[in-house]
Amino acid sequence: MTEAALADIGQEIVEGQIAPGDYPVPTGWRVLVEPIKIEEKTTGGIVLPTAAVEAKEHLRYIGRVMAMGPLCYQHSKFGKDAEPWCQVGDMIAFGAYAGQEIKVRNVTGDKYVSLKLINDDEVLSVIPNPDSVLIYC
């Protein structure tokens, strides 16, 4: 994914994220998703209690579509002239056991970022207003 493509979806390249050329390219009908990272510490360094982290467990199954394979939503099961359920840049919900997790080095090369490769039919919903879901429970 190019730096321009990341800028188009509002992604800034900051420390801890993936370099633009390092995003895996999904094949076939797969969708590359970057799940929301659940913070276990506040910005001030306070470690959140386990109950607070577990209350946000549902956020692990929400992420931003980073790339889509060339065959996404072209299978006959979607019907003739079917519209794609999601686009690059959309926030989506997906199943807890959907897809394959992969880890990619971050920009600085000292940590890894978890990504998910899911099938196009594993997208459960598009979330038009992520702020409505990204709440502290």
| Three-state DSSP state, 70 | coil
Q: Who's near 124: CB < 8 A, 6+ residues apart?
A: 92, 93, 94, 95
Q: How far apart are CA 83 and CA 19, in angstroms?
A: 30
pTM greater than 0.75 (yes/no): no
Beta carbons of 106 and 17 less than 8 angstroms apart: yes
Q: Which residue has the tokens 């997790």?
A: 101
**What is the per-residue pLDDT for 76?**
83
Identify which has the larger pLDDT, 100 or 43: 100
Task: Encode pLDDT of 54-94 as tens digits.
Answer: 766 767 788 999 999 999 988 888 888 778 889 999 999 99
Sorting pLDDT into bands at 50, 70 and 90, what band is 5? very low
Sorting pLDDT into bands at 50, 70 and 90, what band is 30? very high
What's the mean per-residue pLDDT of the chain? Answer: 79
The whole-number average pLDDT for the span 4-13 is: 40
Task: Encode pLDDT of 109-131 as tens digits.
Answer: 778 888 999 999 999 999 988 77
17: phi then psi, degrees, rounded to nearest 5: -100, 180
